[in-house]
Chains A and B, each alone.
Chain A
Amino acid sequence: LAKTTQPISMDSYEGQEVNITCSHNNIATNDYITWYQQFPSQGPRFIIQGYKTKVTNEVASLFIPADRKSSTLSLPRVSLSDTAVYYCLVGDIGRDDKIIFGKGTRLHILP
């Protein structure tokens, strides 16, 4: 399982684009990158998953450079409700890898 490193916390303002970067220098060939969001007293919620280049869905974009040693979760035009902890996870979804969480990034959106 590749270890991930994220900023402990970030602050931003409503309406801004927020980019959270995750380092995973030891990512393996078959590993995918998955981001989860967690609100207080709730279980994590899947946001986005990708393998390389760029993935976009209705809530976020995920940018992965060619070397795949890092990834950036981009949240467009954040609102106060985006205040949460964001976790970056790396693992081989083709196997029954355990899902091990790192410390995550505590994002605080200010009005």
Chain B
Amino acid sequence: GAVVSQHPSWVICKSGTSVKIECRSLDFQATTMFWYRQFPKQSLMLMATSNEGSKATYEQGVEKDKFLINHASLTLSTLTVTSAHPEDSSFYICSARARDRRSTFGSGTRLTVV
């Protein structure tokens, strides 16, 4: 079946630094990738949608200069949290959509900013 690898699974960083999260579709080409953020006991909140080779589309209220998304190939998308602050601490999840429209989620990245 379709597999999406998300790395790292957890990361701790100092306030003010940047963190990059990778999302790879291992056995299929992802025409579209989605990035979500999830706070404890809450649902997933869509942050942005990215299509290979084009700029990401951000949801309202999500700062595009803070959350940089790159979708350089059909199998890789990255989310960079720039100048991270404690309030950015959250669980970040990516999802990759194949040509058959089935979406597969990564295992998530727990970001803690100290």
Contacts and interface: CB of A to CB of B under 8 A. Distances in A.
Contacts of A46: 102-104
A45 B43 CA distance: 14
A41 B95 contact: no
Given A93-B101, A98-B49, A43 B108 contact: yes
Given A43-B93, A104-B43, A99 B107 contact: no
- What does DSSP make chain A's interface, helix, strand, loop or mixed? loop
B91 interface: yes
Contacts, number: 46
- What does DSSP make chain B's interface, helix, strand, loop or mixed? strand
Contacts of B104: 46
Contact of B6 (A36, A43, A98): A43
B26 interface: no
Contacts of B107: 42-43
Interface size on B, as a range, is 20 to 34
B50 to A, nearest CB: 11
Contacts of A45: 105
A46 B108 CA distance: 15
A87 interface: yes
Interface of B: 4, 6, 31-32, 34, 36, 43-46, 49, 91, 93-95, 97, 101-108, 110
Interface of A: 36, 41-46, 87, 93-94, 96, 98-104
Given A36-B105, A43-B108, A46-B102, 4 more contacts: A41-B91, A43-B6, A43-B95, A98-B34
